[in-house]
Amino acid sequence: MKKPVLLFNPRPDPYYKPVDLPISLICISRFLDKEGYPINIIAENLYPDPFQVIRESAKESLVLGISAMTGLQI
């Protein structure tokens, strides 16, 4: 079995807590799933401490992918 791929979607603005889904990561995960990789998606707005979740999930993961937007995230 292949190692999982960890995908992280940071919050676009530290003062704004969006409730939307990380569509870009869901789209790319389609290709990874097709190749047989287990996928873990972590959206910062859905966890009280997302970085702890990342630290735990990353121990078993092959790679960490992070989405980015132009704007406040940069």
Q: Is 31 domain-assigned?
A: yes
C-alpha closest to that of 43 among 19, 16, 62: 19
Please state the domain count of the chain: 1
Q: Looking at the predicted structure, is the pLDDT value of residue 71 above 60?
A: yes
Cα–chain center distance at 40:
7
Q: Is 1 domain-assigned?
A: yes
pTM over 0.85? The answer is no
* Confidence at residue 12, expressed as pLDDT on a 0 to 100 scale: 72
Q: Is 61 domain-assigned?
A: no
Q: Is 38 domain-assigned?
A: yes
Phi-psi region of 71 (alpha: psi -120 to 50; beta: other; left: phi over 0): left
Q: How far apart are CA 19 and CA 29, in angstroms?
A: 20
* Confidence at residue 21, expressed as pLDDT on a 0 to 100 scale: 80
Q: What is the pLDDT of residues 19-68, one digit of tens each?
A: 778 888 999 999 999 999 999 999 888 888 999 999 999 999 999 999 88
| Residue 11, CA distances (Å) to 8, 37, 65, 70 in order | 10, 25, 15, 12
Structural domain harbouring 4:
1-49
